[in-house]
Chain A
Amino acid sequence: MSAVSVRDLWMEYPNQVVLERLNLEIAAGSFCALVGPSGCGKTTFLRLLLGEERPTRGAITVDGQPLVAEPGPGRGVVFQRYSVFPHRTVLENVIMGREFAGSRLLGRLFGAARRAAIEEAEGWLECVGLAAHRDKYPAELSGGMQQRLAIAQALIVKPRILLLDEPFGALDPGTRAQMHELLLRLWREERMTVFMVTHDLKEGFTLATRVLAFEKLRIDPTDPGRFGATITYDLKVNEERAAEMAPPLALSA
């Protein structure tokens, strides 16, 4: 779990302001849903958290330290698509995190180290319900199974922050409900801080402990890029769930 704080953040591209004056304090273990209309900078904000892009102004700190300016194992991610590697089987996808850490030169483990990684990966596959499909390629899985695989793959390196970019946007409602259950369970068990971009307000309110609405406050009809979006609503929801996740220190205080 990591606490994230955002101070006076601006994100500008040439001729376009995407985000303006973003201020945010996120407690460790929060589950944040980022909602709002398309093109309002939700995904840009996620990319900033990921370290894929740098803010034009302002700063993001994680547990008081400036955010590392490139993606790394502290922050896991699941995208809507292309989150798993098509040339590796389900099992091979999950052990990747262990292989990268254990073999700097080849990125591949052998012998006892590989068996240990496989055992750990099998635990994760069991956990997300993919144990029976360990030797299939991602293209042979359904959309929901691919997303479960992407989650297992991300979690094996124990990220303290998990970033989700519309992870369930392409799934049917039944599968989506199953995924919600799985995600909530993993969030509790792994004690992560979660940021999830979603178009679905209901999804946001069901899952999150905090819903952040992105919207443009000012609109210049002749120059749509002139003003950026900011957080217009910051709602605390599902508070009993949030209390469970609060660090013990805060409870005793």
Chain B
Amino acid sequence: MRRVINRRPGRGGFLFWSALPFAIAAAGYAVASALRLAENPGDRLLPPLSAMADAVVRMGFTPDTRTGDYLLWADTAASLQRLGLGLGVATALALLLGVAIGLIPYVRAGLSAFVAVLSMIPPMAVLPVLFIVFGLDELSKVVLIVVGIAPFLIRDLSLRVEEMPREQLIKAQTLGASSWQIVLQVVLPQMLPRLIDAVRLSLGPAWLFLISAEAIAATEGLGYRIFLVRRYMAMDVILPYVAWITLLAFLSDTLLRLLSRSLFPWQRAGKGAS
């Protein structure tokens, strides 16, 4: 009998074991939903799949009677725009400040403690401040995402820059590189894949801040819709929306991973054929 740490599933086995928890969760839901509906046909807590499909058709493929919009797509567009702007600004800030703090001793002396303290401020606690300062419109939601994830990205990137082998920076100098050339040709190319990884990790928090901001003050958006229909206990809308958000997050994560892999082939060099 081989040790359990040495026993691996084959290709088919891997797929089976991956699919298993999803299948169990789906079956569990179907059974629980059927049981509740058998007892009370008007149950709203665990709607059947058919009800959710109806809700998807209603939200996504029928124009809203009041505005004429297709609500699901309008919500998605609004949310993705906020998320994209927030992530974009936070990433740009991280690139600028992270590299500067990690590489330039004077900037590190000036900013690293400040950023460390900033990153400890709970972003949700300053949300009212953001609403007061930036108004209830788009800006405050984007700023919340930036405030929420930029400090993490900055600190992560500056630590990665500091971790770079001293030998590389010295070598670049002996080849005649200026500080700027070192940033451009030595530090940035090696840090971009790290930055993409950090952005992938902060996708979860970014969605959290987005939905929180939308729940409190918005007129459209995925988070806004979920909190709106909660008043009618419309689980048939909430559950597909949650599934949709999950899918969007998963897709953006996958997209970033593939992007990093194709843009930076050297990362996988020498790591075997797989």
Contact = CB atoms under 8 A, between A and B. Distances in A.
Interface of A: 50, 52, 70-73, 75-77, 79, 81-89, 96-97, 99-101, 104-108, 136-141, 150, 153-154, 157, 159
B181 interface: yes
A71 B174 contact: yes
The interface residues of chain A, by DSSP majority, are classed as loop
Contact of A97 (B170, B176, B271): B176
B136 to A, nearest CB: 44
Most buried by A among B171, B178, B180, B185: B171
B122 interface: no
A145 B243 CA distance: 51
Given A81-B165, A82-B167, A139-B269, A104 B181 contact: yes
Nearest to B173: A71
Contacts of B174: 50, 71-73, 75-77, 154, 157, 159
Interface of B: 165, 167-168, 170-178, 180-181, 184-186, 189-190, 264-266, 269-271
Nearest to A165: B167
Contacts of B180: 105, 107
Given A52-B170, A71-B170, A99-B185, A153 B175 contact: yes
A136 B172 CA distance: 20
B178 A79 contact: no
Given A71-B173, A104-B178, A153-B175, A87 B189 contact: yes
The interface residues of chain B, by DSSP majority, are classed as helix
B167 A81 contact: yes
B33 to A, nearest CB: 52
A101 B172 CA distance: 12
A191 B274 CA distance: 45
Contact of A137 (B165, B177, B189, B266): B266
Given A79-B171, A83-B167, A108-B185, A100 B266 contact: no
B176 A72 contact: yes
Contacts of A70: 173
Contacts of B172: 85, 96, 100
Nearest to A101: B176
A106 B189 CA distance: 13
26 contacts: A71-B174, A72-B176, A77-B171, A77-B174, A79-B171, A81-B167, A85-B186, A86-B190, A87-B190, A87-B264, A87-B266, A88-B189, A88-B266, A96-B177, A99-B185, A100-B177, A104-B178, A104-B181, A106-B184, A107-B177, A107-B181, A137-B266, A137-B270, A150-B171, A154-B171, A154-B174
Given A73-B175, A83-B168, 19 more contacts: A52-B170, A72-B174, A73-B176, A77-B170, A82-B165, A82-B167, A85-B186, A96-B175, A100-B172, A100-B177, A104-B181, A106-B184, A107-B181, A137-B265, A137-B266, A138-B270, A153-B171, A157-B174, A157-B175
A139 B165 CA distance: 15
A100 B168 CA distance: 15
A72 B189 contact: no
Nearest to A71: B173
